[in-house]
Amino acid sequence: MPRLFGTRPDGETVEQVTISSGALTASLLTHGATLQDLRLQGVAHPLVLGSPRLEDYLGPMAYFGATVGRYANRIAEGRFTLDGTTYQLDRNEAGRTCLHGGRAGIGLRNWTLEASTPDSATFALLLDDGDMGFPGRCAVTVSYRATGTALEITMEATPSAPCPISLAHHSYFSLDSSGDVTGQTLQIAAQHYLPVDDRLIPLGKIAPVKATPFDFRTPREIGHHGYDHTFCLDADRTAARLTGRDGLVLEVETDAPGLQVYNAAHLPTEGLPGLDGLRYGPRAGLALETQEWPDAPNQLTFPDAVVRPGEVYRNRTVYRFAQAAQAQGS
């Protein structure tokens, strides 16, 4: 049963609902359709960065664990042209880009808890035509399901007019209690990545990872490089594998074409208050966001991200946990 988590400044109440497979337990919020906490039986620490207080999600921890869109990541100048019409979006990042759908993107809205069972929950949101500048009304749902040691997240959207859509799950994962992901080991099934400019907008070229700091084709430590980039995923493979210092493994499976890897370097050095009394400083977690490629509406060589009436946008991602020995044997 949902319980009251807090009240937003607009007077709307935010509900929290908990789902569980027995081994894996997830706490979810209607605000942002957010994964607020994630626990695995036998592991003492939370697996995602989160807060027990709503006010943190309304401030410095905006997007932590949220479902972001209507277009995740960035669109250059907050502008694109589709079928001969130019659309100006809300520019919420220093007036230069549209980030995660604008100042009132879906990760900052209060969703409706549409359905829940002991192991699943579905949230829904209806966006108006012209919301944040995007064309068409758009019905969005996100469903969480706990099964075994995995959390399955399915995001769907149906627009009433042609519209670029990219939805992403924005948790920061940490697989040990060190408070620093630099020593955790990452592997990504990607031969290429997208170089970006100083606004983090792709330059338009698809670059090989070989002989660069972006080569995670074989497992290696994350290190201190500044990662906030999209990896162009290989098809039909586990997208990524993150391994903590204690041997806990997170495998990411997805049908999305891109994986945004961000090492939370922007977090304040004094830290943010988190779950279980933890403090989150720079590189306290790793975002593994499965999504369409950023700025795709303006990049003709990128996979088409436009969804047309009668079509359904869908992004299904599974975050699966195991101990290292079990993962190697799977």
Active-site residues, by number, are 170, 289
Residue with tokens 């195991």: 322
Quick check: 213 and 225 in contact, CB under 8 A? Answer: yes
Burial degree of 228 (CB within 10 A; 0-12, 13-18, 19+): middle
Provide the residue type at 28 as one letter. L
Phi then psi for residue 181, to 5 deg, are -85, -5
Question: What residues have CB less than 8 Å from 265, skipping those under 6 apart?
Answer: 226, 227, 228, 282, 283
Residue with tokens 């209690």: 177
As a whole number of angstroms, the distance between CA 308 and CA 306 comes to 6
Q: Using alpha carbons only, what angle is made at residue 278 by residues 273 and 283, rounded to the nearest 5 degrees?
A: 85
Quick check: 183 and 162 in contact, CB under 8 A? Answer: no
Other residues' Cβ atoms within 10 Å of the Cβ of residue 302: 21
Q: What is each CA distance from 186 to 59, 178, 250, 263, 272, in whole angstroms? A: 30, 16, 10, 12, 25
Task: Give the torsion through C-alpha atoms of 185, 180, 49, 319, to 10 deg.
Answer: 0
Helix, strand, coil % in the chain, rounded to nearest 5: 10, 45, 50
As a whole number of angstroms, the distance between CA 273 and CA 84 comes to 47
